[in-house]
Structure 1
């Protein structure tokens, strides 16, 4: 016991000595508390929050009243508990009505966002929504409707419209443990999604509401740029400068994604950094050309203020997307550091930016954008910290090229596992594409965009817009050429939930610690995560949450019961398998046979039946026998079934299902509802009880 006490004391003394270098770990510990909240299977009750609050108070008391050796552990515990409390508070603050069931009928609302759907259709987000037969108190604050009709419609910001639409609550995961759109929608305030095939009826345009003026300006600038620049180059340029991606087609998005250039089209840290950096340099060196001014003013701080104002305008113009807000916080922290005579780019400034983002939007932690942005930034800081030690040995003429290669390699290495885990693909030639495209973005496209904005009031923006257009064309050309190469995309299976945290912890231990034993733990965590990923095991059988699709794993990959329909579910299953096939090819694998609406397959001694269509309930009685698994998108009308039956009623309770081999033999069943737990964003009863909506 004495030896253990001495060892604990030594560890506490080491922590106290390292207190000055602990700041980068603050967002990591804060994230642990946020993760604990989101991983809970049951919605934490009042008692859990009271206990966390009491623990936080005790930890802070120990931080200020305890001895020096207890200050760092106490602060760490306080950060973890604070993360848990902030995530819980945020979940309640954003709470709003969610559509209780399917709805078909008139939908009236005001257009507050325009984008494109998974099927490449124009999509409108509406607020101020009114639904027939739905009480105002139970009407969602935001509704998103994809336009599948043939009638032409040009949406206007703030336009009040009426449309006959099919709506439903946000869908749950397409398989147990999969991507949870319900949680994303909850924090976005999105209470219903759907589509229409009917023409959109335009009502009177209302007056400008809060935030609508920026939306109007954004869409007006986007249309102006797309009129001046033909084709996808104009749509790409508009997305860069205004955040409006409604003109970017699915083919362009796929090319950017498959070449690892998709980060260029989402306004993120790269864009905010390039814009604010260009404005900073333009102001600082421009003022230096006027010696009387340069001698009387601190041009560095004046340039920082100008860059901060430009970044703020860019934020307002591009809209309040999560990625844009996150990028703005990072840029603002670094420019504020310049104003305070601190190092603008350091692990401390990145930690402060991460803490601000997580305090405002703790749900960002589980989103790929947050993970990739801060992972890349930390990797760049660490890499260039080492670069400064060896750059003197590199010939001066080669240093810019070497620095560019190093930055692309460091950022690409840091974000590769994150992108692979979330998007199930590795862009094999992503480094080549970024080496070709990013310099054009930084040296031509973004500077030309800023200059065009400055010269537009004088009517002199045409040359800058031409430069921007040609730069965008070059980037899209690179994307298409790289995406078209053989082996450009390597599909990878979805990892288990613990894999990415293990890789992240290992990378942080290597980047932020010095003791050899901690770095050794980092190597073990990285190795364990990579080995665990290679052992990923996919379910034998997957069943969609509405009974619309069944997928059976075969030696040649997952075979699907239908060649068309439930396209999003099909593509998600195949991507999670690490399978590059499309739905038609997966159906043609031949595991399922039978006429349309009655597909059958074998799983060992079991017979699988997938019945769809209006007559499915009548046909189910003939095939529901012992040794059969029957899945149908209708409702069972008989008595207790003799088979293992999954009809629409049962699947509404369980969500999507997965069957995998059980350790003791047989099959183990997992449901999306059990995997996701009972949380506010997925449990209608719990929402009504907690929120009274």
Structure 2
């Protein structure tokens, strides 16, 4: 007993001795943290964290809320957090926490309000019926065009069940222009949901844009005056879109070829004329973001207008001496960039870039620094209050991530650091050239590092030579392409713009040549496995900690960065993917690679392969499945069988021998295997399974407990009997959405 007691005493002493450094370190750590917070408060760098809290409230709504919450509840919670603030002046920590909670509840409320405002019917099943409506916008493509139609009638649907807008494509039609009323037979289907759990959800984005169905027009398209005069906003949008189409065609014709198509997209935002091969070339070079009207275009357009107006005013001595020409130039730049955003299509990403640019220019009007984290936070507040759902997409994440990184590293990227006092002309010229090169490479590198987590998470691709592509092409964009775009738009009303578009096209052709050269490098595009949301969350927190603080708190970014990299380096890859329609599946064979079962669409198979880190084309994903007219059977690496059933006659045999049965049909209730059939997919959407020794870990594209995609009508009345029968098959490949482009809207 004495020995036991002595052992316990010795252990207690050893424990106390071991914990003594921790007790001694705690006050030092507390003092360091307090000093850092005091420095942050003195530099007024705590405000941006309110924008972070606002975003966390939005994430809480989209990730946790079930159904439609009452709007008064989050607003009341925010009011309760704000009420005691006047009495907390002596408690800065409590004050900051309550402000953050209030901002979070306001973000939750903004998301709830947005959902209530955009709610509209969504088509429930594939239907062929007569469609009548007004063309809101047209995007010409290499073959045919794609329309967004404001629907006035579709088959026999009641108004409360009819989609507000539909997006349809056609190959041949009479000349159409925005604002025309049309009548045609349309094959429409619900907007496609994600092809895999965690993948791009076009249905969600379409719903927030008011698009309740997608499809194609068949047969003759009749152009008729609309039965009712459209609202003024619709008429104005149609006129702007018609003007955009006319200018797009003028620019494309002035230059010709793909250089003309890209040049037109840079000015008007219409990308339909760009060939898929050109898109792939731009992606491989890491410069596809240049084609998307975004922060880069807004900043360059505003900069050109600002410089031209200020230079013109500076030529008049009286104005230069007695007028605030810098503020006048900033006001002109604000008007110019606003008009450019409207004319370029008023796209969601362009609107966010416009908000950010206007706030930066507005800071000049009130004698504030244009580039600051505070201004970036204000831009984030404005963008998220208007479109809370944007927080979930790559465009917002990459835009604000890149700008935050550039602002945080602004001092390191300042070219003045390379200049020396007293240097001669040669020395100044060398310093100028070096500062330009270092600035371009530095900003490109910082932007790529800041956007890499989001681009990799959403697109599963990495462009290792993107820094080379941006360094070589951005000087052309900054010095020739965008100035030509501004001058061309100014010359367009006078019909003096064609030579300018030709010059712009030559610069774009050089940009495409550089991109094609980089595409020829081995490994220009690397496909990586999709990593889990936890990895993205850790990396996003690391980015916030590395950019928002101005004190030693930046060192805290290392821990979440390492955690995010650890999660991303070891993703749990599914062994079975099942298409949302049950038309096909993919499973991992004995060689560790996916192969197809059934007939999944090429688009869906491509998404599965990319998520698995597999660069093969969909047609190359073949395996050792044994198929016959009624179905296919394949085996996982552990020997368990996976059956894909095409015909009901196969259920009896496959239910007895397979571990998993996949089918677009309805399986019998007594099937002993794990069944993924029509009813299951109708509830859960696209499904992925990961094999474990105990069974299968299952994930779904549609979150459990969340009802059908918001606004989806439960049932539709069939079309009139005189119309072709409704189709119940999978969507046409042309109806499949594009999941976005790597690097979209990332300002470089």
Q: What TM-score comes out, normalization by structure 2 length?
A: 0.84
Which residue, out of 435, 438, 445, partners 1:409? Answer: 445
The C-alpha deviation readout for 1:585-641, integer Å capped at 9, x for no partner, is 11x2x23232466222013343222233xxx223434433243533222344x5633
Pairs within 5 Å for 1:277-288: 277-288=303-314
Give 1:601's aligned residue: 634
Moved more, 623-632 or 188-197: 623-632
**Matches of 1:203 and 1:480 in 2, distance apart?**
46
Q: Is 1:680–1:687's contact at 8 Å kept on the other side of the alignment?
A: no
Contact 1:552 1:591 (8 Å CA) reproduced: no
In 1, distance between residues paired with 2:28 and 2:401? 37
CA offsets 1:382-426 (integer angstroms, 9 cap, x no match): 222223483336833311111111111111111122111111100
Could you say if the C-alpha distance between residues 97 and 644 of structure 1 is closer, same or farther in structure 2, counting changes exceeding 3 Å?
A: same
What is the CA–CA distance in structure 2 between the aligned matches of 1:492 and 1:395, rounded to whole Å? 40
Q: Does 1:665 pair with 2:694?
A: yes
Q: Which of 439, 447, 450 lines up with 2:475 in the alignment?
A: 439
Q: Does structure 1 conserve the Cα–Cα contact (< 8 Å) formed by 2:181 and 2:223?
A: yes
Q: Distance in 2 between matches of 1:658 and 1:127?
A: 36
Q: Deviations over 1:152-211 (max 9, x none)?
A: 555421222233222222222222233222221221111111234545443347787142
| Kept in 2: contact 1:182–1:682 (CA 8 A) | no
Query: Given that residues 678 and 686 in structure 1 are in contact (C-alpha distance below 8 angstroms), is that contact kept between their aligned partners in structure 2?
Result: no
Alpha-carbon RMSD across the aligned residues, in angstroms, is 2.8
Which residue number in structure 1 is paired with residue 52 of structure 2? 28
- Deviation larger for 321-330 or 218-227: 218-227
Q: Is the 8 A contact 2:413 2:443 kept in 1?
A: no
What does 1:24-63 align with in structure 2 at a 5 Å threshold?
A: 24-40=48-64, 42-43=66-67, 45-46=69-70, 49-63=71-85
Aligned to 2:405: 379
The answer on whether the counterparts of 2:313 and 2:320 sit within 8 Å (CA) in structure 1 is yes
Match of 2:740 in 1: none
Give the 5 Å matches for 1:53-202: 53-68=75-90, 69=92, 70-115=94-139, 122-147=145-170, 149=171, 151=172, 154-202=175-223
Pick from 555, 561, 570 the counterpart of residue 535 of structure 1: 570
Query: Partners of 1:279 and 1:407 in 2: how far apart?
Result: 22
**Over residues 635-654 of structure 1, what are the superposed CA-to-partner deviations in whole Å (9 max), with x where a residue is unaligned?**
44x56334443332332122
Find the residue that maps to 2:571 and give its secondary structure. coil
CA distance in 1, matches of 2:182, 2:313: 50
Deviation of residue 13 (structure 1)? 8.9
Deviations 1:477-513, CA, capped at 9 Å, x for gaps: 2222222321100101111012112111112212222
Counterpart CA distance in 2 for 1:467 and 1:108 is 43
Q: 2: distance between equivalents of 1:687 and 1:481? A: 53
How far has the Cα of 1:448 moved from its partner?
A: 0.8
Q: Equivalents in 2 of 1:401, 1:14: separation in Å?
A: 35
1:498–1:644 Cα change, 3 Å: closer
Change (3 A) 1:439 1:520: same
**Local SS of the residue matching 1:244:** coil
Distance 1:608 1:683 in 2: 35
SS of corresponding position for 1:202: strand
Given the superposition, is the C-alpha separation of residues 448 and 672 from structure 1 closer, same or farther in structure 2, using an over 3 Å criterion? closer
Kindly state the Cα deviation for residue 348 of structure 1 after the two structures are TM-superposed.
1.5
Give the equivalent residue in structure 1 for 2:395: 369
Which whole-Å deviations, capped at 9, do the CAs of 1:329-348 have from their partners, x for residues lacking one? 11111111111111111222
What SS class does the counterpart of residue 79 from structure 2 fall into?
helix
Q: 1:78 to 1:492 in 2, by over 3 A?
A: same
Number of aligned residues: 672
1-side partners of 2:360 and 2:596: how far apart? Answer: 50
Match of 1:618 in 2: 649
Q: 2:12 maps to which residue?
A: none
C-alpha deviation, 1:431, in angstroms: 0.7
Residue equivalent to 2:285: 259
Cα distance change of structure 1 residues 78 and 7 upon mapping to structure 2, 3 Å threshold: farther
**Matches of 1:227 and 1:597, distance apart in 2:** 53
Equivalents in 2 of 1:83, 1:410: separation in Å?
29
- Offset of 1:677 from its aligned partner? 4.1
Greater displacement, 377-386 / 360-369: 377-386
Q: Is the partner of 2:67 in helix, strand or coil?
A: coil
| Residue deviations 1:656-685 (CA, integer Å, cap 9, x gap) | 2221134x6222233333x36415735848
In structure 2, which of residues 233, 237, 260 is the aligned counterpart of residue 234 of structure 1?
Answer: 260
Alignment correspondent of 1:399: 435
Cα-to-partner distance string for 1:190-249 (whole Å, 9 max, x where unaligned):
111123454544334778714222112111111221222211112111111111112122
Structure 2 match to 1:592: 625
Shift of 1:307: 0.8
Deviation at 1:576, TM superposition (A): 1.0
1:116-145 C-alpha deviation (Å, 9 max, x unpaired): 89x987322111342112111211111112
Structure 2 distance, partners of 1:482, 1:203, is 49
Q: Matched residue of 1:191: which SS?
A: strand
Which structure has the larger Rg over C-alpha atoms?
2
Task: Please list every run of 5 or more consecutive structure 1 residues that lacks an aligned counterpart in the other structure.
Answer: 689-693
Do 2:123 and 2:712's aligned partners in 1 also have CA atoms closer than 8 Å? no
Counterpart position of 1:633: 664
Q: Deviations over 1:283-333 (max 9, x none)?
A: 101111122332342111111111111111111101221111011111111
Change (3 A) 1:596 1:424: farther
- 1:691 is aligned to none
Aligned to 1:270: 296
- 1:226–1:235: 8 Å Cα contact kept in structure 2? yes
CA distance in 1, matches of 2:375, 2:634: 57
8 Å contact kept, 1:255–1:483: yes
CA contact (8 A) 1:120 1:250 kept: no
- Within the candidate set 381, 390, 407, 2:417 is matched to 390
Q: 1:379 to 1:597 in 2, by over 3 A?
A: farther
Cα distance in structure 1, aligned partners of 2:484 and 2:238: 27
Q: Indicate the residue corresponding to 2:679 in structure 1.
A: 649
Query: 1:182–1:374: structure 2 CA closer, same or farther, 3 Å change rule?
Result: same
**CA–CA distance in structure 1, aligned partners of residues 173 and 630 of structure 2:** 34
The counterpart of 1:357, out of the listed 383, 388, 396, is 383
Judging changes above 3 Å, is the alpha-carbon distance between structure 1 residues 400 and 410 closer, same or farther for their aligned structure 2 residues?
same
**SS in structure 1 of the partner of residue 352 of structure 2:** helix
Q: Does residue 546 of the first structure (1) align with residue 577 of the second (2)?
A: no
Q: For the residues of structure 1 that align with 2:145 and 2:432, how far apart are their CA atoms?
A: 50
Give the alignment partner of residue 519 of structure 1, picking from 551, 554, 579.
Answer: 554
Question: Kindly tell me: are residues 221 and 166 of structure 1, through their superposed partners in 2, closer, same or farther at Cα, counting changes over 3 Å?
Answer: same
Structure 2: distance between partners of 1:38 and 1:686: 22
Deviates further, 616-625 or 341-350:
616-625
For the structure 1 residues 507 and 642, does the alpha-carbon distance in structure 2 shift closer, same or farther, using more than 3 Å as the test? closer
Q: Distance between the aligned counterparts of 1:646 and 1:340, measured in 2? A: 61
Give the match for residue 531 of structure 2. 495
Match of 1:420 in 2: 456
> In the TM superposition, what is the alpha-carbon distance from 1:65 to its structure 2 partner?
2.6
| Residue aligned with 2:151, SS | strand
Shift of 1:441: 0.7
Question: Please, which runs of 5 or more residues in structure 2 have no aligned partner?
Answer: 1-23, 421-429, 717-748
User: Are the structure 2 counterparts of residues 514 and 472 from structure 1 closer, same or farther at C-alpha, using a change threshold of 3 Å?
Assistant: closer
Contact 1:495–1:533, Cα closer than 8 Å, also in 2: yes
